[in-house]
Structure 1
Amino acid sequence: MRKLGCFGLIVVLVAIGALFLLVQDWGGPGPTPRNATFQVAEGATLSGTADRLEAAGMIPSAARFKLFAKVFGSGAPIKAGEYRVPAHLSQADILKLLQGGKTLQRFVTIPEGLPSVVVQERLMAASGLVGDVAVPIEGTVLPDSYSFQRGDTRQGVLDRMQRAMLKYLARAWDNRKPGIAVTTPREALILASIVEKETGKASERRTVAAVYSNRLKRGMMLQADPTIIYPITKGKPLGRRILRSEVQAVNAYNTYAMTGLPAGPICNPGRASIDAVLDPAPSTALYFVADGTGGHVFADTLDQHNANVQKWYAIRRARGER
């Protein structure tokens, strides 16, 4: 009887040890040597996924993974998508990750003032997106960071960008202040694109919008340098000073050769520039010029403006600029 009792104790201890090893195998550090990504296709089964996890070196054995999943797992289905798998993630946590559906989010960022030709370039360069996309109509994309998953289409992401612009512009237009210079949402978008290109300084954005609004109301030329550049580069940097011939060029965008707004937006303006046009500062300024600090100095009269221009020229000369 004593021998049988000892044998039974040994069996129990062996069983406990084996169970401990199994739990350690399931919940202990996995074999993935470094952070990696793993894609689960739509309709993929746990069995097929386990085989692919083993082939990728993320689990030691597909057979044991499937067994452990049945014994220790929740039984929930795995979900399609791309997942980030941290180094040495346990098999238990890999299963939870695939069942939880917390997929890896990729982003494409469109900064304020980006022209549509560059929006298209960014979408085409975004790793993980598929398909081609044409250059969107200028001004139809709302600058922001947009998430996507591997396998999403470029057109689908662009559609979201454009829906976001339509939604924001409509809401902003509904909240516009009375007496503004623009009469339609499209006019607001065009003027906002000029404001966006003229200043990146948040503190003066509404004042820049006020200058152009005041000039529109008086029937003055807007004389915005970025509108000269747009027909030449489609919004990309010119990379040199504007030529006199370009200032004098007559086209649908050059606001040095026409009154009123250009034919369309010259970039994709952000929310703040749209808001500034629809609620400009209470200013009577009609002119502005760079002040040498990254901002501008504003003037109500041409004499004041000419004096400010001379100060700007002096700053440039002191810097050794032509």
Structure 2
Amino acid sequence: MWRSIASNALTLLIVVVFLLGGLILWGKGEYVAEGPLSEAICVEVERGTNMRKVSRQLEAAGAVSNATLFRMGADYTDKSQLLKAGSFLVPAAASMEEIADIVTRGGASTCGTEVVYRIGVTSAEIQVREMDPATNRFVEVVKFDPAADEEPEVFNLVRTQSDTRYRIAMAEGVTSWQVVDVLKKIDLLQGEVEVPTEGTLAPNSYEISEGDTRASVIERMQADQAELIANAWDTRNPDVPLSTPLELLILASIIEKETGVAEERGQVASVFVNRLNRGMRLQTDPTVIYGITKGEGTLGRGLRRSELQRETPWNTYVIDGLPVTPIANPGRASLEAAANPDETDFVFFVADGTGGHAFAATLAEHNRNVAKWREIEAERAE
């Protein structure tokens, strides 16, 4: 009898072990298998939450087929205690394993809402954007000019949400004064900061968080620009008539202010390099404007003849060679154009009415281009 009981018990134990092993294998397979999501979604992980709540949230959203299995897999892989607060993009068909990695990996949020402080050449604006999971692109919700418009209700609302991200987007060609002017008005940031040397800030997008100092943001911009300048200087054409990285930076800033057409930068650079090589004055309006404004905002009007004739350290109609400092913060493309300009015979250029310029190697050709531009101006004035 006892032998029979023992034999049955052993058989039962073997069956149980076999079933348990099969269950574990099935669970592992389900954990790494393609998930049920038919399209991407955003998942918000609240600060202070736990894996149990998140697993239920994922199940309700249709991201995982079984909250308990997801939680057990996260426990097994030691990720249950690694949750990170934020909003995260979960792609279509993501497995439980992939989702667990997404919500515990850390780093900046990849989904949800962001506030972008845009520093433009002529104005600054604030933009609120929302991630569209289906396209993995941010969609504009609202934008406004903080100097002229009232703060929209949606802006104040997203400011209260813990997962809202913040960025500063600095355009190519803005001045250091313009950057600092905007930084002073961002109440997320702390501390005082002086206007840094012109040209030393890299136009780029910078993530910021509440409590960051303005000085630390400037330091990041300066570090990025120093690297760009060094790379451009190290790879420059040795025949370009520039003696120092500072001269490269000055020329790049002029190129940046003279054209917004990316394809033209090399040609514009060639005009100034050809003029420098021939001992011709650069005669470029943006340098005259900088001598008037010192980079503190825009001129807002055309130049007067008296201003073109007035000597300042930046007026390239009056002085020889390059001005004494950069006139803006150039981006990578303008730095590279200054270091390696196109090889042309051009020494003149004028607007062509399309947003670009007409280039010329002779004065006669240039005068014809100028006449065409005057006709375009006259037509537009009618």
Normalising by structure 1, report the TM-score: 0.71
Q: What are the superposed Cα offsets for residues 88-135 of structure 1, whole Å, 9 maximum, x if unpaired?
A: xxxxxxx99886534444211111101111111232233532222221
What corresponds to 2:317 in structure 1?
256
Could you tell which deviates more after superposition, 300-309 or 206-215? 300-309
What corresponds to 1:247 in structure 2?
308
| Matching of residue 139 in structure 1 with residue 139 in structure 2 | no
Calculate the aligned-residue CA RMSD, in Å: 3.1
| Higher relative contact order (CA closer than 8 Å, sequence separation 6+) | 1
Size of the aligned set, in residue pairs, is: 257
C-alpha distance in 2 between matches for 1:37 and 1:135: 39
The structural deviation recorded for 1:148 is 2.3
Give the percent of matched residue pairs that are identical in Structure 1 and Structure 2. Answer: 45
Could you tell which deviates more after superposition, 234-243 or 205-214? 234-243
The structural deviation recorded for 1:149 is 2.4
What corresponds to 2:106 in structure 1?
101
Distance 1:209 1:311, change over 3 A: same
The answer to which structure has the higher helix fraction is 1
What corresponds to 1:232 in structure 2?
292
Which amino acid is 1:159 matched to? E
Point out where structure 1 has 5 or more consecutive residues left out of the alignment: 1-34, 41-48, 51-57, 59-68, 87-94
Point out where structure 2 has 5 or more consecutive residues left out of the alignment: 1-42, 50-56, 58-70, 90-99, 110-164
Match of 1:304 among 357, 365, 379: 365
Q: Contact 1:193/1:273 (CA < 8 Å) preserved in 2?
A: yes
What corresponds to 1:292 in structure 2?
353
Q: Contact 1:131/1:155 (CA < 8 Å) preserved in 2?
A: yes
Distance 1:280 1:99, change over 3 A: closer
Match of 2:249 among 172, 189, 193: 189
C-alpha distance in 1 between matches for 2:243 and 2:277: 11
Q: What are the superposed Cα offsets for residues 232-268 of structure 1, whole Å, 9 maximum, x if unpaired?
A: 2233321111011110111100101111000100000
C-alpha distance in 2 between matches for 1:226 and 1:207: 17
What corresponds to 2:135 in structure 1?
none
What corresponds to 1:15 in structure 2?
none
Alignment of 1:119-130 (within 5 A): 119-130=179-190
Which amino acid is 1:194 matched to? I
Which amino acid is 2:370 matched to? V
Distance 1:103 1:290, change over 3 A: closer
| Matching of residue 114 in structure 1 with residue 174 in structure 2 | yes
Secondary structure, counterpart of 1:319 in structure 2: helix
C-alpha distance in 2 between matches for 1:223 and 1:37: 57
| Matching of residue 266 in structure 1 with residue 327 in structure 2 | yes
